[in-house]
A and B are shown apart, each in its own frame.
Chain A
Amino acid sequence: MTQDQASRWKRMQEWDQRPLRLDSFSEESPENGFAVFHSPWDPAPGLTLGPDGAILEMDGRKAADFDILDAFIAAHHIDRTVAAEAMALDSTVVARMLVDVNVPREGLERLARGMTPAKLAEVVGRLSALESTFAYSKMRQRHSPGNQAHVTNAKDDPLQLAADSAIAVALGFDEIETTMRVAGNAWANALACTVGAAAGRGSTLFQCSIEEAEELKIGLAGLATYAETVSVYGSERSFVDGDDTPWSKTFLTAAYASRGIKARCTSGAGSELLMGFHEKCSVLYLEARCLCLQRAMGVQGTQNGGVDGAPLTASMPGGIRELMAENLLAVWLGLECASGNDTKTSESEIRIGAKITPYLLAGSDLITSGFGSIRAYDNSFNPSLFNAEEMEDYLVLQRDFEVDGGLAPLTEEEALAVRRQAVEAIDDVLDELGLARADAGMKASVIHASGSDDTETFPPVRTLQISRDIAARGLTALDVVRALALRGHRAMAENLMSMLRQRVSGDYLQTSAIVRDGKVVSAVNDPNHYSGPGTGYRMDEARWSRVKAVRGTINRSHVLDAEGSHEAPTGSAQFYPIGKAGKGHDPHEVVVGISPAFGERLHRTTAGHAVSDVLDALTRGILEGGGMPRVVRIRHTADTSFLGLSAAHLAGSGYGIGIQAKGTAIIHHRDRLPHMNLELFSNAPLVSLEQYRAMGRNAGRMTWGETPEPIIVTNDGQALGARFHPRVALLYAIETEMSEPGAEPEEMFFASAERNA
């Protein structure tokens, strides 16, 4: 656009510079596959059963014309015993049942087993974003929410992968997923993450995302416990282009279980569109087909909610609403749901925060199917919705809404301790197994590193060699247990052993299973039975006290320690009471009314100025303006307006300045109403000493009948309330505590530091 800059509205130009403008927004266009909830090409829901129970027609297609998805869904998803009843129900009635706390989840799951993809899509399409979120919280499978981390590294560095896995476990992630920059590094990555995940409290499910054959081998060696690379697609041609059929994926799902590996499918809005085979259908309808297929395959769960197609879906109107709707479909079908949120869908931090919020409120088996627990540039899957950079924002969101997003804050000491433990352990394991040896400098750089840019570690060829050696020698998790134990990492060996023990029982193969503190928790032994207030998951006291303990919280003693010492800063001006204050007579006298704690218990304003310096600036200013300053301590109030008004009543000129210890200041006149001041510095954190001096000068000039320009303290848009209000509230409480109703004002002797000298 070559528009003349001068002819533009400047606001639009400013908006052009916002990160939001980097996002793309697409228009609806069903013929091109850009349809979210409904396309004119979506079939109407329908099911015709023959007398023998055979499906003759489904969603507008005759059995003879069924494509591979229809055929599989008809054969394995549709429950003939419920189908007639379920399909006959009005979709709005079913939608209302989904949000009705009196209709149990199990009953709704029974109905879903008799519904076709088009019917399921139609029902969830009747729910608003809020209703979908609520229904999701009711229908999700496991009672307690969880979360999954990506742990990857741009250098595929075993040392840092171990350290970062340990951090992920310490933060509370129930699953860790890794992948490689170089496919050949798979075994080194898997071994490093396995070791790191055994640090600290240990026990977490772990996945090494790579091509199926390799993933099965790694799993068989005990170096991985779950897989989520079983991708399915909602149209026949995209399925075939994805190089699979429903039968090959069903076989693969069984193959994973046969090796003791938990599996989940991957699907999501927009994938068919990205692959060019959308059949002009809405993304929700195609995803409904994927999810019916997944139930039919007998997989325990899914990761959906856009996943890689999330940014494309988010570009469409109502796209984010659709992502929650398809997650709801998954849990309604009885599937574990790792609910997406694993792709950065926007450059706008506001859109990112808004995207995650419904999931935090509703809870989810795995709120993200990959939180970037490492720096965004280290994420070999591509940056996630949240990354290490934004970790603390996420932790604070949990605290804001009092919800369990699966994580809890770590202190720096705790973090360094598990990193050190993990790095020493992986180094010992590599050495014990004759694979490699790291030097002290490498280890130290990794322990303290945020991302791979900060490390001095193995060169890439060395890492590749480690990986090849692990594979070639057929090393397994048992070798890792042995190495850990022999090198004195007994607790870590025990943690890893407890995970290997789980493989034999297969308990974690059940729906929504995770391992916490060595015990399996799943939809079988920890089912979600939400049925309204007073039911469902709530954090217990112990959990909440961990979740809410974000870094940098303050309380009264911190504030007093930091700013409320009884001692004035050394070398500062002296001021002390010299008796009861009376009314002055000098027509140019300006009284400065200081608050009860000013220079008494509190010595610093929120801007960081010593209160004595502020007082000095005010009195100098008054003199410069032609006034006579007098300092009086007001003892009956700490309110700025009344401090100012009380000072004005004592002043010979009728002009007074009121000031609180935190720095809020006001010019008042005795004939004015309490809240009709002449000038006010309300944003104390922003006021400079020069501005206090100018305020004093204005008060002095007012005594000569002048009307000076008010002093403007500019605010560039800082969230001053967020930055200062906890401190302000605590400081002000000290002021009010020191004020005594009816106490008389005190005359103060005040001399600046230099005059004292």
Chain B
Amino acid sequence: MSTDARNLYPLSEKAPHLVRSKTGLGLEDFTVDAVLEGRIVAQDLAITPEALRLQADVARATDRDRLAENFERAAELVAVPQEMLLDTYELLRPGRAKSADQLRERATLMRVDYGATRIAALIEEAADVCERRGLFTKRF
């Protein structure tokens, strides 16, 4: 995306055609009648990786590269099921993983199963620093 990503924002007003829900609904399909007719399901309330990547482009175009990276990590997590998401968060908390290797295994799983390369890199970095700082002590 060019540096003109700013011109797409807000997507809901300037570029609604670029936004689709998980089941393929456009923004114009989000009506009360559609809900009453059962054409919108719970899955449609979720954001898509595509929308998050577009938001990353917008963030980068406004000099917020770190925010953009956050949206890119988020895009990788959309497909990660809730249980796995919470379990990985839990594992990253102090003392949950018994060793750096346990974190590295999770990083590999994220990379292989979900194509979550940025998330994997984040977890590996955590493993390295926590290892150096001795943060694998049991907390409870």
Contacts and interface: CB of A to CB of B under 8 A. Distances in A.
Interface of A: 66-68, 71-72, 75-77, 106, 109-110, 212-213, 216-217, 220-222, 236, 240, 243-245, 247-248, 250-260, 295-300, 334, 474, 476-478, 481-482, 485-486, 490, 493-494, 497, 500-507, 509-511, 519-520, 522-525
A251 to B, nearest CB: 5
B102 interface: no
A40 to B, nearest CB: 26
Nearest to A249: B92
Contact of A220 (B16, B69, B82, B139): B82
B19 to A, nearest CB: 5
Given A243-B139, A298-B70, A524-B58, A255 B85 contact: yes
B27 interface: yes
Q: Which of A244, A298, A482 has the most chain B CB within a 10 Å cutoff?
A: A298
A240 B88 contact: no
Given A244-B93, A247-B125, A524-B58, A217 B82 contact: yes
17 contacts: A216-B82, A245-B135, A247-B92, A250-B73, A251-B119, A254-B73, A257-B71, A258-B75, A260-B45, A298-B68, A300-B67, A300-B70, A497-B31, A500-B30, A504-B30, A506-B52, A506-B55
B122 A298 contact: no
Interface string B1-38: 00000100111110010011100010100111001100
Given A497-B30, A504-B19, A520-B12, A258 B80 contact: yes
Nearest to B129: A71
B10 A254 contact: no
A293 to B, nearest CB: 11
B69 A298 contact: yes
Given A485-B35, A490-B32, A255 B74 contact: yes
A298 B45 contact: no
B64 interface: yes
Interface string B35-62: 1100011101111100110110011001
Contacts of A220: 45-46, 82
A504 B35 contact: no
B32 A481 contact: yes
Contacts of A67: 133
A405 to B, nearest CB: 25
A503 B12 CA distance: 10
A651 to B, nearest CB: 79
Interface in B105-122: 119, 122
Nearest to A223: B45
Contacts of A66: 129
A250 B85 contact: no
Interface of B is mostly: helix
B89 A505 contact: no
Contacts of B126: 245, 247-248
B66 A68 contact: no
B82 A511 contact: no
Given A220-B82, A255-B74, A497-B31, 14 more contacts: A221-B45, A247-B123, A250-B122, A251-B73, A251-B92, A259-B46, A334-B64, A478-B40, A478-B42, A482-B35, A485-B35, A486-B36, A504-B20, A505-B51
Contacts of A222: 42, 45
A298 B21 contact: no
Contact of A505 (B19, B119, B129): B19
A114 B57 CA distance: 22
Contacts of A502: 12
B102 to A, nearest CB: 14
Contact of A248 (B40, B58, B76, B89): B89
Contacts of B46: 220, 259-260, 503
Contacts of B73: 250-251, 254, 257, 298
Contacts of B85: 216, 255, 258
B101 to A, nearest CB: 16
Nearest to B48: A504
A714 B130 CA distance: 72
A75 to B, nearest CB: 7
B133 A68 contact: yes
Contact of B89 (A255, A474, A481): A255
Given A248-B89, A255-B85, A485-B32, A243 B94 contact: yes
B6 A254 contact: no
Q: Which of A244, A247, A502, A525 has the most chain B CB within a 10 Å cutoff?
A: A247
A485 B36 contact: yes
Contacts of B78: 258
A444 to B, nearest CB: 29
A516 to B, nearest CB: 12
Contacts of B47: 257-260, 503-504, 506
Contact of A510 (B55, B93, B123): B55
B70 A254 contact: yes
Contacts of A72: 129
Nearest to A239: B94
A245 B91 CA distance: 11
Nearest to B133: A68
A296 B67 CA distance: 8
B89 A252 contact: yes
A213 B86 contact: yes
Ranked nearest first, the 10 interchain pairs of A and B with the lowest CB-CB distance are A298-B70, A257-B74, A247-B126, A258-B77, A248-B92, A260-B47, A254-B73, A507-B10, A501-B30, A298-B66
A505 B10 contact: yes
B83 to A, nearest CB: 10
Contacts of B51: 504-506
B32 A494 contact: yes
Nearest to A501: B30
Contacts of B36: 482, 485-486
B6 A258 contact: no
A198 B128 CA distance: 47
A661 to B, nearest CB: 60
A217 B93 CA distance: 19
A68 B130 contact: yes
Contact of B27 (A490, A504, A520): A504
Given A68-B135, A216-B85, A497-B30, A258 B52 contact: yes
B9 A510 contact: yes
A500 B45 CA distance: 7
Contacts of A334: 63-64
B130 A245 contact: yes
Contact of A509 (B12, B55, B63): B55
Contacts of A485: 32, 35-36
A76 B121 CA distance: 13
Contact of A258 (B32, B74, B123): B74
A257 B74 CA distance: 6
Contact of A297 (B41, B45, B66, B123): B66
Given A240-B135, A485-B35, A506 B130 contact: no
Contacts of B32: 481, 485, 490, 493-494, 497
A244 B130 CA distance: 12
Given A220-B82, A244-B93, A523-B62, A511 B133 contact: no
Nearest to B130: A245
